[in-house]
Structure 1
Amino acid sequence: MQKPRFTGQRESIFNNEVVSRFELYNSLFLTLPFYKIKDTGTLLPLFIKYCEEGVKNQKTPAEIINVFFEKYTQAANAKDVIDLLFRFIQYIERQVVLFDAVEDASFTKLNTAEGQSSLRSMLKKSESSEYVYDKTVQLIEDLSLRLVLTAHPTQFYPGSVLSIITDLTSAIKINDIVSINQLLQQLGKTPFFNKKSPTPVDEALSLSWYLENVFYFAAANIQSEIDSSLEEYNIPTKKVIELGFWPGGDRDGNPNVHAEDTMQVAKMLRQILFRCYYRDFRKLKRRITFRGVEDVIYKVQDILYQNAFDVNIVPENISDFLTENLNQIKSTLIESHDGLFADLVDDLLRKVELFGSHFASLDIRQDSRVLRDVHAYCRQSKPIISLFPENFDDLTEEEKIAQLSFKSAKVNYTGDASPLILDTLQTIAEIKQIQQSNGELACHRYIISNCQQASDILQLIELFLWNGWEEDELTIDFVPLFETVGDLQVAAEIMQTLYSHPFYKKHLESRGNRQDIMLGYSDSTKDGGYLTANWSIFNAKVALTAISESNNIRLAFFDGRGGPPSRGGGKTHLFYASMGKEIANKNIQLTIQGQTISSQYGSIDSAGFNMSQLINAGISAGMKEKHNVLLDPLHKDILDVMAKDSFDSFVTLREHPLFLSYLERFSPLSLLSKITISSRPVKRSSGEKLRLEDLRAISFVTSWGQLKQNIPGFYGIGTALKNQEEAGNWENIRKTYQESGYFKTIIDNCMMSMSKADFSITAHFANDPEYGDFWKTLNSEYERSKEMLLKLAGHEALMENYPVEKRSVAVREKIVLPLVLIQHFALEKLQEELTEEEVQSYEKLAIRTVYGIVNAGRNSA
């Protein structure tokens, strides 16, 4: 099949601009004498080649590494071997960074406007039809994009390394060899990781690097393009982009987040923003040196300076003050100075409109089970104790809701409370202070994770009314998070109960009749497998949209998307573009986390491109406004059966007695808690014994990714497709794939996940007396899934329709192959009788390999 011209052009650019330049700069990098070990850089290419040949010949990691060291090094003992392996790891980690920088430097060449619809082009096309034009304008009026940065522990680079990557990318763009050489040396000598785990505030500070250095500019650039396009067609401009932030606010399963952290992060976001404003205003002041604006200039500069640098200032929302005075400066420039440099004022005005006094909205998130405990604690105190029967917890859901009175009260707490309960109560009280300091948008959403019933929301509202809030000033949006397959099935029923509840209905009216609902891919995948999770969320969205529309509620879905396809990642804009009219899609909200932040939003160019894709996807989906064919009986029945077959296959695997022990034995799962990159525990419970239900989805997915098996990203889909073929439904499946963009995206992202798996690396597991058959089961489903997916798509290889991305994955996997083998080597050693010192050495060795493997995957955890 002949490739499209643009696809072939991208391949050529990738090979010339990325692969060739990486090989060139990598050869330079390997000659740098970093760690007083003369031959490390020389030995590494040889080691990589030896690893590739060893895997091809199904050698064990121990065989590969031991024979290599015997043949090519003078390592005299185990300590020498470990030392050199650590040096290899350090080089490989930086090779990943170098490849990232080379790829990012070529971003604009690889991602041109060809094949991408801009807002201006959409408006131009719509001119020929008054109906289409009016529809486009209406879609723009309703559209918004909210990107929420989360503190999930797979973003490893500290700010110092991110700055080097940024500078290295700039130098590579212009082939500045001298600067590249210096930056590679700096990279080699700069620590990648912290010696101790970060606090929640540390995480927020690290993640704020992206706000300050990327989103501050990229969001303003995109908004400027939108404003320009709308002004050209005499359409009123509107704010489209919003930013959200979870570090310091997300305490779900993280006992290390406290109310004082939340306050500190809110202050930090505000201060960083005003430093950005001050930096811009200084540039503006250097240009606006005319008469008539001096007083206003100095007044604004003084206020900005105080808010940026004076830690003793009493913070307040001054966005209106800035807007008023900047508009005054702009008016003077237009009236008296021919509008000279008015564009600079417009740029700052646009940023104030986007970011206000808060920069990004700080979401608060807590588990419903904790909130129920808090409500129970409050019910024991005066005057609340008189409002509830003692057996409240034993009542039915309907009876509980009937008991809720929503009376404001000043509670007199007397009993002992756990730290979690005290934190919840303190945070509820302090949200009001954050809103007063930074504006309402600074902290206006409370997300209830593991939401299982309407009372989870309603009881939380009572907690607000008992802790400093009045009904008429409840400037909070309550956001249920439905995660498991079971919770997704009853989500619409829960929302109907809320929509028809008098108090909640009145509250929604005060919030503009808008409801945000968060849907989680991670736990639903862990619960039911890849296909079942996606299909469950699709059906939940359809049902929730219908319920919301029937109650005249403007619904916005907030998608908890992680990096990999198994956690809702992959090519997310294709999901949004493929929605039918049955799914609310005017307000796109999603989490971005881990390497997804650095890979898709790590530079101004890439962030702008990906934001534009999401915005355009929202508009194009609305323009089509066509029925989603997956809801037709033929397609829906097929997907229902496939989801059930996939679910049964995944659950059978999950309930296998060796399932969890296999993961603990062969992956670094049990060591993840020792990685100093996150304040968040690996599992929710504090018990010694690991249970699957307590294991965090990110740890679950990361462990399978480290194994290069990626089970959560495909397992069960091969069985489901094979069953359809054997039932004689293959042509109907092909028709579903060809007609449904949504189903096609599910399949394509599944193939992306599988392309990062390599069972040949663990082929020797087949001979393991305890786990051999279990490995064969995993491998069998992988081969079945690969065969059926390729047959369905009509392809000869995985990711055939994304050749550039496929090549990128292949290069990255080649770079980190030695890390995977070193990890298995270390984990094998840990099964032997070792001294305490040896245990620590091999544990450190295994742990260090995790970073590079995850970073190379870009969306693998």
Structure 2
Amino acid sequence: MTNTFQRVRKTDIEGRIGDLPSRTIFKDNGIMRELSGFDIDAGGGVSAPLRYHVNLLGRILGNVIREQAGEGIFSLVEDLRHHAKAAEASRDPVLFEEIYHRIHSLDLDDIFWLIRAYTAFFHLTNEAERREIARINAEAERSQTDQTPRSESILEAVFKLKTSRQSYESVRTLVDRVEIEPTLTAHPTEARRGSILFKQNEIARLLAKVSPDIGLSAAEIGKRIGRIHREITLLMVTDDIRADRLRVEDEIENGLYYCTTSIWETIPRIFADMQEAFETYYGKAPDLPPFLCYRTWIGGDRDGNPLVTPEVTREALAVYRKAVLEKYREELQALWQQMSVSALRAPFPPAVAENIAGETDTVRLDPQFLHRYRHEPLRVKLSCMIEKIDRLLADPSEAGYTAQDFETDLCLIRDALASAGLGAVAREGRLNDLIIRARVFGFHFIALDIRQHSQVHEQALAELLRQAGTVVDYASLPEDEKIQLLATELENPRPLVGCRTELSSATADVITVMTLIRDAAPGAVQSYVISMTHGVSDMLEVLLLAKEAGLWGIRDGAVDSRLDIVPLFETIQDLERSGELMAEIFQNPIYQRHLAARGNFQEIMLGYSDSNKDGGYWTANWSLEKSLSTLADICRDHDVDFRFFHGRGGSVGRGGGRANQAILAMPAQSQNGRIRFTEQGEVISFRYAQAPIARRHLEQIVSAVLQAASPDHCGIECSPPMRETMEAISQKAMAAYRDLIDDPAFWNWYQTVTPMEHIGRLPIASRPISRKSARKVQFDDLRAIPWVFAWTQTRYNVPGWYGIGTALSTVMEARPDALGMLREMWRGWPFFRNLINNVQLEMARTHLTVAAFYDRQSSLSFHNRIAAEFERAEKAILAVTEQAALMENQQVIQKSIRLRTPYTHVLNLVQIELLRRWRDAGADDDALGALRHALFLSINGIAAAMQSTG
């Protein structure tokens, strides 16, 4: 076996000598040849710059491993790398067995080095790919013209509106009603430490400076490569896993990092892009509303997380406010340096002097300062503003200077500059950017949602009603009696209990949170999300709890409400009956009065994660599609303005995929320009680690929303035959999926063969993996994230495709015309095409040969069953899409998967060996501790390789 192993490596190397980068158009000038690390060939079909960077990083990484671990470890990593490539090329199971047996023979120290080396490779490759995305985007932007704007840009969206003969007024009206609200969450899907993320970002920054087409001297390239070498050296000696589990406070700081860096930088760019598009095609630009704002759940998501206490929520609101005020102070200081405009050279209108005179009466500035800058009124004005911000920072209860006041002051400066003939300074640059930020971020920075499970509200209200002597056992009442009781109590002016009534800690927490919302600054908390909304009473209960805290009430005959109530529909059953529930609540008299107080506006959240776990990928997505259509129609029938909130995860199995394509694929009646969607974990770090990537992400979203909300946008109507076909596929797909997971032996098998137990112990988030017991987890209580996370680790990727093979093949066999119709749907229906593309992406990332090694850990076996379903799905999808291979229509992604796949095999086989050793370790605490750490590292490495967790 050893001889075969060595032979494979030698043959593989000999066949690749002619592919070194020095043979490409990008000359090394001797620099690359001085590096004696891994010679990684990114393969054909990958761009030359990306090949160059992957090879460069591989050589540097190999050098670092030689320096830190020695020649033996370097040779081991190389042997396994080449053997894995040969195994993947041949798909010979014997070669996979040889790799596993080689790993089986290693001691734990060598395994640690293997994991570190391969994980570092994927971290570096991910940065090279992200750098390539930024390069391609910049290149496309440079080459665009007014008549050929860049694809999926804001310029292209406005160009399309103009060419469809939309007037300036109609497009401005469209933008006025657009509301896009990405919502950051702390869902535990980012496996990397902040220290690792920081070093990756630094390497990406340095990588941009060693592109082979920059035209630097060999000496300068050598220096820059030296800097990358130092960063990779530090990366290799940095712990991948945190020493302790993240606290909620840490999660707040992590989310805030992106708000204060790339998001802060990118928001003005997006607004500038919109104004540029108007100028280009209509010759003038409107004063834009805050059409793009951010929200967060971090610090407010209490569902199943006991660590999100009222104190944590209070602290989160204070931290967000303090952060934005500090950012404003920095910007004002920079503006102060810039605005050295003399009134002797640029005449200002009298209103400026009058305003400053009023300011200096209330804001005490040093008389010498006022005298020194008596001819520079804008600096005096900015000094007054800085002093007011300082007051707010010093005393959080200070309310004398509002976000609206701040924006008004900035606009005064802008108008003064324009009046003085300095229009360019007024309209562009730092001042205009700050005005946009003031509109978008206010004094709260990022609005915080509160989320809690419906059962918690029911239990709290049951206690309050029992204390009040109203009803002994509220929870046992029928739904219609609950609704009647809640309506009566909402109209009753007296509180249920007095302020000194002793309550359980759980109920007291619910009331305290409502009080926090009541006392929060305007805009700081706007929505209350109810997890697992099953009935009308679930929504009315929250109103009554808000009333108890003075957050909701009837005053002078009119309802006063300061909170949007957001139902979250998560299960297949709840999605199917969501329309019925919303129609009922819209007809409820007391809720109608609440809606009137909220501008007749209703937000509705749809859960992509739990619905998938409940019914499988196809059924979940079809149920969501139907719910969007039904709910939009019901809202319009009741004259209720609405916004859909999409609870998407990062992986396909939790609603992930390209967000802009998902928006364009949604049913036409659901498109009204108002949208929210969650962004979490590794999605946040990918989209917002670098400002150019963040800008591209956001412009794609804005472009899609503009096009989808346009009056000329006509989505493909789902005809009765198409609906009938989709229903048939959905029923078969869910039946096949449930048949798998409801098998009595399945749950034990899943717990045995996947690393779910260890994922639950990863210190990557404050939230437990189960809503109930974290010790004895059952399927129904397991959250969707670890469910998908564990499948991804094993390379089965079941949540992204299972059941679809049986469903499609059954329908095609039963109906002779089905294949033709499915091909028509594939070609002409964006929803169907997006659905199939996501399925084939997950299938392309599936590797059953490697997955079979996980299955062997259990005396039970589901592998053949899963493999048979995969074969059916592959055959059916290739027939529908008329491709020869999965992802043939998306070759860039296909090639990226092929580049990663063989290297991922090594990490998977290492993890399988570690799981075996874990089971055999017995009660040896020292051995278990080391193995646990190694397993954590392997999970982290595979997450980097798959670019996906849960």
Question: What TM-score results when the alignment is normalised by the length of structure 2?
Answer: 0.83
Task: Name the counterpart of 1:359.
Answer: 445
Are positions 1:293 and 2:378 aligned together?
yes
Structure 2 distance, partners of 1:345, 1:780, is 62
Amino acid at match of 1:428: M
Structure 1 distance, partners of 2:779, 2:833, is 30
Structure 2 distance, partners of 1:576, 1:132, is 24
List aligned pairs for 1:265-280, cutoff 5 A.
265-280=316-331
> 1:302-355 deviations in whole A, cap 9, x for unaligned?
3334545x4777477631222122223223333346346433211111111110
Identity of aligned residues (%): 25
List aligned pairs for 1:675-690, cutoff 5 A.
675-686=762-773, 688-690=775-777
Task: Name the counterpart of 1:320.
Answer: 404
Task: Name the counterpart of 1:489.
Answer: 576
Are positions 1:571 and 2:658 aligned together?
yes
After superposition, the Cα gap between the structure-2 partners of 1:83 and 1:128, relative to the gap in structure 1 and judged at 3 Å, is: closer
Secondary structure, counterpart of 1:148 in structure 2: strand
Are positions 1:169 and 2:199 aligned together?
no
Are positions 1:87 and 2:122 aligned together?
no
Amino acid at match of 2:926: E
> 1:772-792 deviations in whole A, cap 9, x for unaligned?
3x1100111112111211221
Are positions 1:805 and 2:893 aligned together?
yes
Task: Name the counterpart of 2:310.
Answer: 259
> 1:102-155 deviations in whole A, cap 9, x for unaligned?
222222333335661444444444446655666544432221211001101111
Quote the offset at 1:706 in angstroms: 0.5
Match 2:269 to one of 187, 199, 221: 221
> 1:573-609 deviations in whole A, cap 9, x for unaligned?
1121123432244212100112111223332111111
Match 1:784 to one of 872, 876, 882: 872
Larger deviation: 817-826 or 88-97?
Answer: 88-97
Structure 1 distance, partners of 2:165, 2:837, is 36
Task: Name the counterpart of 1:425.
Answer: 511
Amino acid at match of 2:389: L
Quote the offset at 1:393 in angstroms: 3.0
Structure 2 distance, partners of 1:102, 1:189, is 21
After superposition, the Cα gap between the structure-2 partners of 1:757 and 1:630, relative to the gap in structure 1 and judged at 3 Å, is: farther
Quote the offset at 1:181 in angstroms: 2.1
Secondary structure, counterpart of 1:559 in structure 2: strand
Tell me, yes or no, if the aligned pair for 1:227 and 1:238 is still in contact at 8 Å: no
Are positions 1:331 and 2:382 aligned together?
no
List aligned pairs for 1:2-401, cutoff 5 A.
14-32=46-64, 36-39=68-71, 40-53=73-86, 56-58=91-93, 64-67=99-102, 81-111=107-137, 112-113=140-141, 116-127=151-162, 135-175=170-210, 176-230=224-278, 232-290=283-341, 291-307=376-392, 310=394, 314=398, 318-336=402-420, 338-339=422-423, 341-342=425-426, 343=428, 344-382=430-468, 385=469, 388-401=470-483
Match 1:734 to one of 788, 813, 823: 823
Task: Name the counterpart of 1:761.
Answer: 850
Tell me, yes or no, if the aligned pair for 1:31 and 1:42 is still in contact at 8 Å: no
Structure 1 distance, partners of 2:413, 2:670, is 44
Match 2:810 to one of 704, 707, 723: 723
Quote the offset at 1:818 in angstroms: 1.9
Quote the offset at 1:391 in angstroms: 4.7
After superposition, the Cα gap between the structure-2 partners of 1:117 and 1:567, relative to the gap in structure 1 and judged at 3 Å, is: closer
Structure 2 distance, partners of 1:69, 1:722, is 40
Structure 2 unaligned residues grouped into runs of 5+: 1-41, 142-148, 211-223, 342-375, 554-558
Amino acid at match of 2:791: W
Aligned residues between the structures: 833
Structure 1 distance, partners of 2:636, 2:307, is 40
After superposition, the Cα gap between the structure-2 partners of 1:171 and 1:85, relative to the gap in structure 1 and judged at 3 Å, is: same
Amino acid at match of 2:329: Y
After superposition, the Cα gap between the structure-2 partners of 1:797 and 1:149, relative to the gap in structure 1 and judged at 3 Å, is: same
Secondary structure, counterpart of 1:146 in structure 2: strand
Amino acid at match of 2:249: V
Secondary structure, counterpart of 2:64 in structure 1: coil
After superposition, the Cα gap between the structure-2 partners of 1:192 and 1:301, relative to the gap in structure 1 and judged at 3 Å, is: farther
Amino acid at match of 1:533: A
Task: Name the counterpart of 1:794.
Answer: 882
> 1:225-257 deviations in whole A, cap 9, x for unaligned?
223434644545221101011111001111111
Task: Name the counterpart of 1:78.
Answer: none
Tell me, yes or no, if the aligned pair for 2:526 and 2:564 is still in contact at 8 Å: yes
Quote the offset at 1:373 in angstroms: 0.5
Task: Name the counterpart of 1:649.
Answer: 736
Match 1:839 to one of 915, 928, 945: 928
Tell me, yes or no, if the aligned pair for 1:126 and 1:133 is still in contact at 8 Å: no
After superposition, the Cα gap between the structure-2 partners of 1:320 and 1:730, relative to the gap in structure 1 and judged at 3 Å, is: same
After superposition, the Cα gap between the structure-2 partners of 1:826 and 1:228, relative to the gap in structure 1 and judged at 3 Å, is: same
Tell me, yes or no, if the aligned pair for 1:150 and 1:246 is still in contact at 8 Å: yes
Secondary structure, counterpart of 2:668 in structure 1: coil
Structure 1 unaligned residues grouped into runs of 5+: 1-9, 76-80
Tell me, yes or no, if the aligned pair for 2:178 and 2:291 is still in contact at 8 Å: yes
Tell me, yes or no, if the aligned pair for 1:446 and 1:478 is still in contact at 8 Å: yes
Larger Rg: 2
Tell me, yes or no, if the aligned pair for 1:381 and 1:412 is still in contact at 8 Å: no
Amino acid at match of 1:90: R
> 1:13-54 deviations in whole A, cap 9, x for unaligned?
943122331121221122125985223344322222334556
Tell me, yes or no, if the aligned pair for 2:188 and 2:764 is still in contact at 8 Å: yes
Tell me, yes or no, if the aligned pair for 1:50 and 1:64 is still in contact at 8 Å: yes
Quote the offset at 1:200 in angstroms: 1.0
Quote the offset at 1:299 in angstroms: 1.4
Amino acid at match of 2:868: S
Structure 2 distance, partners of 1:512, 1:482, is 23
Structure 2 distance, partners of 1:120, 1:52, is 43
Structure 2 distance, partners of 1:453, 1:555, is 19
Amino acid at match of 1:639: M
Tell me, yes or no, if the aligned pair for 1:738 and 1:744 is still in contact at 8 Å: yes
Tell me, yes or no, if the aligned pair for 2:793 and 2:908 is still in contact at 8 Å: yes
Structure 1 distance, partners of 2:411, 2:710, is 35
Quote the offset at 1:67 in angstroms: 2.8
Secondary structure, counterpart of 1:254 in structure 2: coil
Structure 1 distance, partners of 2:882, 2:166, is 38
Match 2:790 to one of 691, 703, 723: 703
Structure 2 distance, partners of 1:199, 1:137, is 44
After superposition, the Cα gap between the structure-2 partners of 1:756 and 1:860, relative to the gap in structure 1 and judged at 3 Å, is: farther
Question: Please, what is the CA RMSD of the aligned residues?
Answer: 2.6
Structure 1 distance, partners of 2:745, 2:67, is 42
Task: Name the counterpart of 1:3.
Answer: none
Tell me, yes or no, if the aligned pair for 2:752 and 2:858 is still in contact at 8 Å: no
Amino acid at match of 1:424: V
Structure 2 distance, partners of 1:443, 1:122, is 32
After superposition, the Cα gap between the structure-2 partners of 1:253 and 1:765, relative to the gap in structure 1 and judged at 3 Å, is: closer
Secondary structure, counterpart of 1:257 in structure 2: coil
